[in-house]
Amino acid sequence: MLSLSNREFIMYGYLAPFYVASELPVVVAVLAFRVAPLVRAALEHQKQCLSKSWSYLFSRYLAYKYLFFGASMIENAYSKSDGRPFLIHTPERTNVMITSPQHIREMDKALRRDLSLHAVAKELIQPRHTLRGFVWKDQRGMEGTGFFRAIRNLLTANLPRLIPQISEAISTQFNIELQKARPGTDTARLPVVETAKRIVLRANCSVFFPRELVEDAEFMEAALHFPHDVYVAAEIIRLFPCVIGPTLARLVTGSHKSTAVLYDRLCPIIQRRLEKKSNQYSEGNEPCEANDAIQWLIETAPKRENWSIERLVGEIVAVWYASVHTLAMSLAYVIIDMYSHPEYIESLRKEVEGPLFETFQATSEGLPEVDSFLKESMRLSYFESSFIRRQALRDYQFYDGLKVPRDSWVCIPYQAMLRDEARYPNAGHFDGRRFLHREDLGEDPLSSALSRHSDDWLVWGSGRIVCPGRFYATVVLKLVVAHMVQNYSCELEPTKGTRSVQWRSALIPKSGISLNVTLRA
Ligand code: HEM
């Protein structure tokens, strides 16, 4: 056994530090070699965690910024995207924005169990709370599309017959607004947005509801406030935690008062109509002669579903929501555009005072000057940056590998596309005659018409899901333009700053914009 004498022990004890010191570089090198990667990994991990937290915080910042600047953020991102898909963060989810024809076509062809319009509508309207629990299925068409057929077949087919009553409704409402603004004088100051809403309200009521409801002031007020109440309530429910959102929404909308009035008035009418329908073949009973949207929805409701009265009312008010808000916003912008570009008024007036107006009244088609002006107004003043939206009901992947995680939305940033120089030469310039068809070039007058949808004109939707109310909406806009240029001289009051406010992807015209209206001699 090795044993050290005291002297040796002391000697080695003294020498040991010198020995270790002489080996130190080797020890350090070994340690550095073994430990450095660990340190590097730890630092990298920390950096990643930090950058993850920063990028998380940054995406949350963008998500909340989206609430107030959504439309501008989409437009900026589109201009940098160079045709590639891009992401937009919102408080609820990340939206995948697509612009290429291939992606758009594929989105349209996706199975209804993959990408859903109805899931988007459910989130936007929150029907469980705002429509008394009326909740539709995520997959469109599972319960029929009665509302779609009612509007597409019956409203559109009846349009020429309806033109006189829509015109009368528009003229009546203008007279009411002028009287209200300045009784007994020829000039009045009208708030554009509020006036547009009330004109659309009366025009729509004249085709949707029986006269007894149009004459019911409480019903009319409820029908006017309903889209706004639903919009506000749904936004509150989306933004606040589920324990307080619905209660807060009830407080703000007076317990969904407008919804309650609509249901209270519509339920008994539908019940009477259904009774009449079931008795119509019994002896001595007259068939129901009503010819309005309520009746069309009853006629086209899917037979196999046997919908309850509440369900039918739910369908009607959901279509009512879709028809009032969109049309009122478009009309407000048309009025603003008309009087921001007064150089077009004379030619518009000439057309509606000429023989083409009779053709329009007889067919609900035509008036190319007015049509082109409206189309240009919609191009530059579209009220939604991304109207076409689908929710992924499960993880979805496009042909090129673009992934849309479950619950995310796929959207088309169409407003930015409508202002794209590559699509429209001199895109920022308002040219009211941009879409006038050129008969000398043999162009079909209807091919470029506002109400036609095509791959180059997606304001009404894309592919299989296209707005069924587009022919009606176009007729109402044309009739309002005709009424205004024939009867009034108007001047827009100067507005400070921009003419719209942003909320999420919407561009809502400012409520303070006013028009001075004088009766023409
Ligand atoms: C200028 C006014 C309007 C515009 C710009 C407009 C635009 C649109 C768009 C873009 C869509 C498709 C949404 C998507 O694919 O995500 C749509 C759908 C729809 N619109 Fe309109 N719309 C207008 C007026 C109306 C009117 C007046 C009605 C009713 C009379 C109406 C009823 C509907 C309905 C029921 C749908 C859903 C169609 C379906 O599920 O297949 N819209 N609209």
Predicted confidence (pLDDT) per residue in 453-499, tens digit: 888 899 999 988 999 999 999 999 999 999 999 999 999 999 889 99
A 10 A CB-CB count for 495 gives 15
Q: Residue 445: its pLDDT value, please?
A: 62
As a whole number of angstroms, the distance between CA 189 and CA 177 comes to 9
Burial string for 406-426 (b: 16+ CB within 10 Å, else e) reads eebbbbbbbbbbbbeeeebee
Smallest CA separation from ligand 1 atom 4, residue: 326
Q: Does the ipTM surpass 0.95?
A: yes
Burial string for 332-363 (b: 16+ CB within 10 Å, else e) reads bbbbbbbbebeebbeebbebbeeebbeebbee
Does 238 score more than 70 pLDDT?
yes
Query: What mean pLDDT do residues 116-141 have?
Result: 86
Cα-to-centroid distance, 327 and ligand 1 (Å) = 9
Tell me the backbone φ, ψ of residue 514, rounded to 5 degrees: -125, 155
Q: How many residues does the chain have?
A: 521
pTM of the model: 0.89
As a whole number of angstroms, the distance between CA 57 and CA 317 comes to 40
The reply to whether ligand 1 has any atom less than 6 angstroms from the CB of 387 is yes
Q: Is 507 helix (H, G, I), strand (E, B) or coil?
A: strand
- The ligand 1 atom nearest the CA atom of 293: 30
Q: Is 315 helix (H, G, I), strand (E, B) or coil?
A: helix
Cα-to-centroid distance, 459 and ligand 1 (Å) = 9
Judging by DSSP bridges, how do beta strands 94-97 and 409-412 pair with one another?
A: parallel
Contact 127, 135 (CB under 8 A): yes
**Tokens 């619905």, located at residue:** 246
Q: Is 228 helix (H, G, I), strand (E, B) or coil?
A: helix
- The ligand 1 atom nearest the CA atom of 387: 10
Smallest CA separation from ligand 1 atom 2, residue: 327
Cα-to-centroid distance, 475 and ligand 1 (Å) = 15
- The ligand 1 atom nearest the CA atom of 473: 27
Classify domain 70-519 at the CATH topology level: Cytochrome p450 (1.10.630)
Contact 437, 123 (CB under 8 A): no
Judging by DSSP bridges, how do beta strands 115-116 and 388-392 pair with one another?
A: antiparallel
Cα-to-centroid distance, 256 and ligand 1 (Å) = 24
Contact 108, 462 (CB under 8 A): yes
User: For the segment 175-212, what is each residue's pLDDT rounded down to a tens digit?
Assistant: 999 998 877 677 899 999 999 999 999 999 999 999 99
As a whole number of angstroms, the distance between CA 98 and CA 79 comes to 13
The reply to whether ligand 1 has any atom less than 6 angstroms from the CB of 148 is yes
Q: Give the contacts of 191 (CB within 8 A, at least 6 positions apart).
A: 511, 512, 513, 514
As a whole number of angstroms, the distance between CA 297 and CA 468 comes to 13
Query: What mean pLDDT do residues 284-311 have?
Result: 80
The reply to whether ligand 1 has any atom less than 6 angstroms from the CB of 319 is yes
As a whole number of angstroms, the distance between CA 474 and CA 387 comes to 18
Exposed, middle or buried by CB within 10 Å (0-12, 13-18, 19+), for 108? Answer: middle
Cα-to-centroid distance, 124 and ligand 1 (Å) = 14
DSSP letter string, 107-138: HHHS-TTTEEHHHHHHHHH-HHHHTTT----S
As a whole number of angstroms, the distance between CA 320 and CA 309 comes to 16
Cα-to-centroid distance, 332 and ligand 1 (Å) = 17
Q: Residue 43: its pLDDT value, please?
A: 79
The reply to whether ligand 1 has any atom less than 6 angstroms from the CB of 147 is yes
Q: Residue 91: its pLDDT value, please?
A: 95
Cα-to-centroid distance, 77 and ligand 1 (Å) = 26
As a whole number of angstroms, the distance between CA 121 and CA 391 comes to 9
Query: What mean pLDDT do residues 144-169 have?
Result: 83
Diameter of the chain measured on Cα atoms: 134
Residue 282: pLDDT band by 50, 70, 90 thresholds?
A: low
As a whole number of angstroms, the distance between CA 264 and CA 487 comes to 38
The reply to whether ligand 1 has any atom less than 6 angstroms from the CB of 473 is yes
**Tokens 């009607």, located at residue:** 316
The reply to whether ligand 1 has any atom less than 6 angstroms from the CB of 469 is yes
User: For the segment 79-96, what is each residue's pLDDT rounded down to a tens digit?
Assistant: 999 999 999 999 999 999
Q: Is 242 annotated as a binding residue?
A: no
Which of 326, 465, 481 for a ligand 1 pocket mutation test, highest count of atoms within 8 Å of Cβ?
326
- Which runs of consecutive H residues, i.e. helices, occur in 240-282? 245-252, 257-279
As a whole number of angstroms, the distance between CA 465 and CA 35 comes to 61
Question: Six-digit token pair at 48?
Answer: 């990643």
Contact 387, 414 (CB under 8 A): yes
The reply to whether ligand 1 has any atom less than 6 angstroms from the CB of 227 is no
The reply to whether ligand 1 has any atom less than 6 angstroms from the CB of 468 is yes
The reply to whether ligand 1 has any atom less than 6 angstroms from the CB of 377 is no
Question: Of the given ranges (10-24, 245-259, 422-436), which has the lowest mean pLDDT?
Answer: 10-24
The reply to whether ligand 1 has any atom less than 6 angstroms from the CB of 414 is no
